[in-house]
Structure 1
């Protein structure tokens, strides 16, 4: 279970990063457009890597959080947060801001809800896991990215994409750092048996004497 959870978390972040890098390589002007990652969702040249990266990140992260939920003090809330995370990301993909003013504001609202959800979940995981300085540092990175995004979200020029990317990096790194530290046993490595000892009953007891000590 632990390997699957950690694997899904890493896969989600890799998919998001690769999708974003492909988008930037295809249309580098998006870095200065101040429309965030969403810039790549309104151009056919970049829509596929944009949508694939976000959806893959949503699905892998959702599955990891569902699997890890039992190790947290509030499994139901973690699962609900995982579902909401995936739904909000899908909603962001399906509301390209260039369609109309109403769709644009819906897109912005979904983005704000996503950021709030991620920040709330990050703080709770950090507290539950009694995380170390690395976890705190990743939360700080997430906060810095959120502040940058908040400053530029309503401006014509700026670094919205850079703020969003920083926020997402901090969130992903915090998940990878804190989830293995959750107190529940579901993520603990399974105890291994030394194959040289053979079957426990044979190793501890005499052979052929009805199980009496050797």
Structure 2
């Protein structure tokens, strides 16, 4: 399934780019500024932008490609487009500018997490509560809770929560996208079907 391949490529972009950032500036793991820490330092800004933009574009393509097989294709396509817009917004609002820009950055991040949770929940429901899908949704939720606990604190594990959340989301997509049933076929107009009633005598 091409959509799954796109999701895998998107996750590879995200975690590969962030891994490069961590190698270049390992102190970011303890800075409690999340992945965004790497977007405000010249040494890591390029792999950071590549990680987020690559993930946004590949996952969007995967979601839009899989949308036709879902019960609500237009809704999934819109969510995929909003997903890209939110990630690009996060890239364009470095928190170090402070004030309204910092709060916009936080708001975009919160909206992104909410969208991913809603989308993940719907996909799992459409996959009839697949056990692994539910497990990955719980991983995603756990990462989101961890990130939420530390997002307004000076020290903590924000980046660890974000990474756990995104890993859970990626694994969920890979697992459930092939399981989501297509919409029921629309019945044709009366009189177009084959008459299978018994003949009268």
Superposed pair shares fold, TM > 0.5: yes
Q: In 2, distance between residues paired with 1:18 and 1:131?
A: 30
Q: In 2, distance between residues paired with 1:138 and 1:37?
A: 21
- The offset of 1:132, in angstroms, is 2.2
- The offset of 1:7, in angstroms, is 1.3
Q: 1:70 to 1:78 in 2, by over 3 A?
A: same
Q: Deviations over 1:43-80 (max 9, x none)?
A: 01000000001100000000111111010000011000
State TM-score, norm by structure 2: 0.89
Structure 2: gaps (5+ residues): 184-201
Q: What SS is found at the alignment partner of 2:44?
A: helix
| Alignment root-mean-square deviation, CA | 0.9
Q: In 2, distance between residues paired with 1:96 and 1:24?
A: 18
Structure 1: gaps (5+ residues): 186-214
- 1:38 is aligned to 36
Runs of 4+ that moved beyond 4 A: none
- 1:148 is aligned to 146
- 1:111 is aligned to 109
Q: What SS is found at the alignment partner of 1:44?
A: coil
Q: In 2, distance between residues paired with 1:123 and 1:100?
A: 33
State TM-score, norm by structure 1: 0.84
Higher CA-based Rg? 1
- 1:184 is aligned to 182
Instruction: Pick from 133, 137, 140 the counterpart of residue 131 of structure 2.
Output: 133
Q: How many residues align?
A: 183
- Say whether the 8 Å CA contact 1:145–1:167 is kept in structure 2: yes
- The offset of 1:100, in angstroms, is 2.5
- 2:197 is aligned to none
- Say whether the 8 Å CA contact 1:148–1:163 is kept in structure 2: yes
- Say whether the 8 Å CA contact 2:34–2:158 is kept in structure 1: yes
